[in-house]
Structure 1
Amino acid sequence: MKVTVVAVGRTRAPYADDLAHYEKLLRPYVKLESIELRDDADADAVARRVPDRAHCVLLAIDAPARDSVRQAAWLEERRASGRDLCFVLGGADGLDLPRADERVSFGPITLPHQLARVIVLEQLYRAHRILRGEPYHH
């Protein structure tokens, strides 16, 4: 499965190291592509970077949240569908993306966007470990 993460804004230290860590941990599970757009990228610029046939997930604070077990089940459903995945993270002002197949949240708290990118990868890694029945302690 290919996973694309499209994010408005560049990742800097200390989050860049965390992203690299989870990118490395995810290598056995998925082919990962990260796309960073300029801070002023609008919805049209973002939409152009979403792969055509990918299931597009927009991160939004007001969307439903899933726990880790439900996230793993959701990931298995996505894999079974045969479609790749694309996660989209807007900039500081959020993003409305009509092209999104669904919206998801990490809960009602506000996170720095760079940290939210790390959490996307961490949750993907955790879901893969859950699906394989492997322990998660990273």
Structure 2
Amino acid sequence: MNVKILCVGKIKEKFYRDAIDEYVKRLSKYCSVTVTEVPDEKTSENASDTEIDIVKDKEGERLLKHINERDYVIALAILGKQMDSVAFSKFIEDLGIQGKSSLVFVIGGSLGLSDNVLKRSDFQISFSKMTFPHQLMRVILSEQIYRAMRIMKNEPYHK
């Protein structure tokens, strides 16, 4: 299985990068993982709804360029389906059984994902009703994919 984490913006904080790198390294035992970053757009603090939509659309266009027709796209969205780690593992396992061998997880920038990216997604998942910094979300996502793989292989992992 090939897993791509597609996200907006670069991570500046070393501790986030180190955590992501560690989980990507651990995941290499189970699947091929790549992290692809697209540039984020500058946004003023008092941006209007129109300006916010323009920013999300520009970032969305950049994201969509990295998605192939055969990719199964999972968008991280606050209104997506919530599931526990075991259900998430089963979800990924079922995708593999269905022949979906290229999974793309999409994390938007600080303003979220454009409507076009959400429309292109095959599934939307939410890790919480809370809002997390998109940098931290990359760490959480990498860890949950790793946990899912361990669960799939019936390997021990803390609960």
1:51–1:86 contact (8 Å) kept in structure 2: no
Percent of residue pairs bearing the same amino acid type: 37
Q: TM-score, normalised by structure 1?
A: 0.95
Match of 1:20 in 2: 21
CA distance in 2, matches of 1:43, 1:27: 28
How many residue pairs are counted as aligned between the two chains?
Answer: 138
Gaps of 5+ in 1: none
2:75–2:107 contact (8 Å) kept in structure 1: yes
1:57–1:101 contact (8 Å) kept in structure 2: yes
1:69 to 81, 86, 96: 86
Give 1 or 2: higher helix fraction: 2
CA distance in 2, matches of 1:85, 1:51: 10
Task: Report runs of 4+ in structure 1 exceeding 3 Å deviation.
Answer: none
Match of 1:35 in 2: 36
2:8–2:39 contact (8 Å) kept in structure 1: yes
| Bigger-Rg structure (1/2) | 2
**Secondary structure of the corresponding residue to residue 19 of structure 1:** helix
Query: Equivalences for 1:28-107 in 2 at 5 Å?
Result: 28-40=29-41, 41-83=58-100, 84-96=102-114, 97=117, 98-107=119-128
Gaps of 5+ in 2: 42-57
2:6–2:107 contact (8 Å) kept in structure 1: yes
Q: TM-score, normalised by structure 2?
A: 0.83
CA distance in 2, matches of 1:17, 1:42: 25
**Secondary structure of the corresponding residue to residue 14 of structure 1:** helix
